[in-house]
Structure 1
């Protein structure tokens, strides 16, 4: 089961999961689907950091609203319209996406670990779904926030520009399947699962 300190939220046009980790009287947010900031306000939480697993539009729609609340943004690469893919969302998929350019406070490229107010986590760069995809593993929570890299019985799509099926599978095998089997996988879409279950049952691996 997911830790009681972790709360999930699903929102936006493609039902994207975001997560809120309560820590030291405040909270850390993982990914920013549309209107997650409203949940944070309603619960009277104090967001301090936003960790982005990648920049695709459905994971970044609420970044501007969260930054207005004073949150620090941490992500792998600088803001990129190519990575956001909002033009495709509007023109090809008919989604009314409007994301203003934003600047990260911390770039994670090259980092393998970090700590926020004493809460330590490991960072793994796992491209294949998107060139900037990263995962965040919190040992003390027994959870990894995988974005669209690994999902319950599935993996992220690799047919978009910059995607690579082989690269994604290699990254999953070497950087996620090396985590403890009991690790809960908090994915960008769908329900929660575990590393052990996906190692045994995921048909794509």
Structure 2
């Protein structure tokens, strides 16, 4: 199995496509540029099985409906952000870019930590609120990757000054969920370059008292 990082949408948010040798795929955070995303899927001959959202901010959702309609796949989101996809004031698009970015409501809501099986993929769902109330991270053991959204970045952490953000909750999520993963785990963040859990344990100033 392997994955591809695709900068998408108005903020060039990192979307990801995880796929196997049989050309099954899962899409994380399709933030926009539906044509670019579809071109990659078609060029690789991939068949999406689902869309997984780390959270429902506007820059992570812009191509959700296009993907859902084209490939007839379910969209997963944490229940604490139910109602955010269709509402610009909740997903932040009306506030930050002065236009409405919306999607239809999610098809399936995540409620708790645990295993999520989307054949042939299996993920460990980690509840990582703080950047937003329903932020989740998806750990894929076979590729040793955690798709972390805007929770943890290379030498940074997610902002917490948006509605529902909580700085201490974010730090708790990182320490008790993400930093418990193997140190060699690749962190695939919502913005910027990838990193690893071990590197962030050593170098992230927000986590090790260097700030």
TM-score, length-normalised on structure 1?
0.90
Question: Equivalent residue for 2:101?
Answer: 98
Task: Report the CA distance between 1:106 and its aligned residue.
Answer: 1.5
83 and 112 in structure 1: CA distance in 2 versus 1, 3 angstrom threshold: farther
- Report the count of equivalent residues: 197
Distance 1:61 1:143 in 2: 24
Contact 2:49–2:118 at 8 Å: present in 1 too? Answer: no
More helix, by proportion: 2
> Which of residues 76, 83, 89 in structure 2 aligns to 1:79?
83
After TM superposition, the runs of 4+ consecutive aligned structure 1 residues lying more than 3 A away are: 41-44
* CA drift at 1:175: 0.2
What secondary structure is seen at the aligned counterpart in 1 of 2:46?
Answer: coil
Aligned alpha-carbon RMSD (Å):
1.5
Residue matched to 1:67: 68
- Which of 24, 27, 41 is the equivalent residue of 1:26? 24
Query: 1:136-155, aligned counterparts within 5 Å?
Result: 136-155=138-157
Equivalence for 2:51: 50
Q: Tell me: CA distance 1:38–1:83, structure 2 relative to 1, closer, same or farther (3 Å).
A: farther
Tell me the equivalent position of 1:129: 131
Gaps of 5+ in 2: none
Q: Which moved more, 1:187-196 or 1:6-15?
A: 6-15
Matched residue, 1:39: 40
Give the TM-score taking structure 2 as reference length. 0.88
- Would you say the 8 A contact 2:8–2:30 is kept in 1? no
Unaligned runs of 5+ in 1: none
* Distance in 2 between residues matched to 1:55 and 1:124, nearest whole Å: 16
Asked if 1:176 corresponds to 2:178, the answer is yes
